[in-house]
């Protein structure tokens, strides 16, 4: 026997010919008028017996009703100016806010760790199987490189922060491997005045910006040499990636997912990006982040 699911009953909405706000105004007006008339009647009833103790309950009831009316008017901002009505104070202390931020960050870290573990166990295992079953050496090298990228991504997601010097060494090693396979030289120049801790967002954004720009230089410009320069001075980070390829003028580009992804990552860093054409050949991309604050400085 199968249970029969009955349709859920929903109340039918009634369309009033009169606006709702007008009905509310009339209802509140009638309510206030009734309160005033009843309170005034009780006050007049108690006047001949002011000195009598028996009249005290009548006066008390009248005062209570007038107090209720005054409270209603104050709540509606009709009797007392809104700027004089005290506002409810915010009861959260800095310690409570700090504990809340720590709890949120802990939850994010646990979620990133879970995602990294799932990627490593599922996608990593499948890529490893495909690598051993690759029909050609080129396909095997491609899958091996993809597996290396996956390990880099999962390791980055699992770590709460990244030292800039360690990230630079990892980026250089990754770009050197990719450009060597494409028979392209890498010129690497780095100058930083402080070795800061990168947050996961900063590390991920810079990693993807570099990879996308290098991919464009290899696949579209067919460059023979790529120059990567990164400087960090006075909390200003500047990243320049240029090539000597045959790329077209930036004005004639069709902005697809690649360039859109670069712009999106730069916005995550609160920075700016611009491309320009080099002479006699090549394209240069420059990313500038004016206030590049590390993860440790941001938490203080």
- Are 198 and 294 in contact, with CB atoms under 8 Å apart? yes
In this structure, the dihedral spanned by the alpha carbons of residues 14, 17, 21 and 22, taken in order and rounded to 10 degrees, is -140
The pLDDT value recorded for residue 257 is 55
Q: How far apart are CA 50 and CA 79, in angstroms?
A: 28
pLDDT digits (tens, 9 = 90+) for 104-152: 767 776 777 777 777 767 777 787 788 878 888 888 887 877 777 777 7
**b/e burial code for range 47-82 (CB count within 10 A of at least 16 → b):** eeeeeeeeeeebbeebeebbeebeeeeeeeeeeeee
Environment class of 261 (CB within 10 Å of its CB; exposed 0-12, middle 13-18, buried 19+)? middle
CA distance 179 to 268: 27
SS3 11: coil
Which residue, among 206, 213, 211, has the nearest Cα to 245 in the 3D structure? 213
The mean pLDDT of 32-58, rounded to a whole number, is: 57
Q: Compute the mean pLDDT over every residue in the chain, rounded to the nearest whole number.
A: 74
* Residues sharing a CB contact under 8 Å with residue 47, sequence separation 6 or more, in sequence order: none
Q: What is the pLDDT of residue 65?
A: 62
- What residues are paired with 276 via a beta bridge? 284
Residue with the bigger pLDDT between 247 and 168: it is 168
Residue 160 pLDDT greater than 80, yes or no = no
Lowest mean pLDDT across 26-30, 108-112, 205-209, 256-260: 26-30
* Helix (H) or strand (E) segment spanning residue 38: helix 20-46
Tokens of 265: 């990552």
Q: Residue 199 above 80 pLDDT?
A: yes
Query: Is the pLDDT at 82 greater than 60, yes or no?
Result: no
Give percent of the chain above pLDDT 70.
Answer: 60
Q: Taking Cα atoms as reference points, which of 223, 172, 165 lies closest to residue 195?
A: 165
Contact between 243 and 217 under an 8 Å Cβ cutoff? The reply is: yes
- Residue 105, phi then psi, degrees to nearest 5: -65, -35
Q: How far apart are CA 230 and CA 34, in angstroms?
A: 77
Number of C-beta neighbours around residue 46 at 10 A = 20
Question: d(Cα 218, Cα 182) in Å, to the nearest integer?
Answer: 7
DSSP class of residue 133 equals T
pLDDT in tens, 217-242: 888 778 899 999 999 999 999 999 99
Q: What is the DSSP letter of 281?
A: S
pTM of the predicted model, to two decimals? 0.56
**How long, in residues, is the chain?**
300
Displacement of CA 52 from its chain's centroid (Å): 71
Flag the least confident range among 146-160, 198-212, 224-238: 146-160
The percentage of residues in the chain with a pLDDT greater than 90, rounded to a whole number, is 24
> What's the token pair of residue 60?
């008390």
pLDDT at position 169: 93
Q: Give φ, ψ of 269 to 5 degrees.
A: -90, 0
pLDDT category of residue 70 using cuts at 50, 70 and 90 = low
Q: Which CA distances in Å does 170 have to 158, 177, 230, 239, 266?
A: 16, 11, 14, 16, 20
């Amino acid at each position: 026997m199968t249970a029969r699911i009955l349709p859920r009953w929903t109340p039918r909405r009634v369309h009033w010919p009169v606006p709702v706000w007008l009905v509310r105004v009339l209802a509140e007006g009638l309510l206030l008028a009734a309160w005033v008339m009843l309170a005034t009647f009780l006050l007049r009833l108690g006047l001949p017996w002011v000195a009598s103790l028996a009249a005290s309950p009548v006066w008390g009831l009248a005062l209570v009703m007038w107090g209720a009316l005054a409270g209603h008017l104050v709540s509606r901002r009709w009797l007392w100016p809104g700027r004089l009505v005290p506002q409810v104070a915010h009861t959260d202390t800095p310690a409570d806010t700090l504990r809340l931020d720590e709890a949120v960050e802990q939850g994010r870290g646990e979620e990133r760790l879970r995602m990294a573990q799932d990627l490593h166990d599922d996608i990593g295992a499948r890529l490893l199987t495909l690598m051993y079953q690759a029909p050609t050496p080129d396909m095997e090298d491609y899958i091996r490189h993809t597996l290396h990228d996956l390990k880099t991504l999962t390791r980055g997601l699992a770590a709460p922060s990244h030292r800039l010097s360690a990230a630079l060494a990892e980026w250089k090693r990754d770009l050197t491997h990719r450009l060597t396979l494409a028979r392209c030289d890498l010129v690497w120049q780095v100058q930083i005045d402080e070795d800061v801790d990168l947050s996961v967002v900063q590390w991920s954004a810079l990693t993807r910006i570099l990879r996308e720009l290098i991919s464009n230089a290899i696949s579209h410009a067919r460059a023979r040499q790529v120059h990567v320069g990164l400087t960090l001075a006075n909390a200003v980070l500047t990243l320049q990636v240029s090539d000597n390829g045959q790329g077209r003028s930036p004005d004639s580009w069709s902005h697809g997912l690649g360039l859109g992804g670069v712009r999106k990552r730069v916005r995550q860093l609160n920075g700016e990006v611009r491309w320009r054409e080099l002479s006699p050949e090549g394209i240069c991309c420059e990313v500038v982040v004016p206030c590049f604050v590390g993860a440790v400085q941001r938490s203080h």
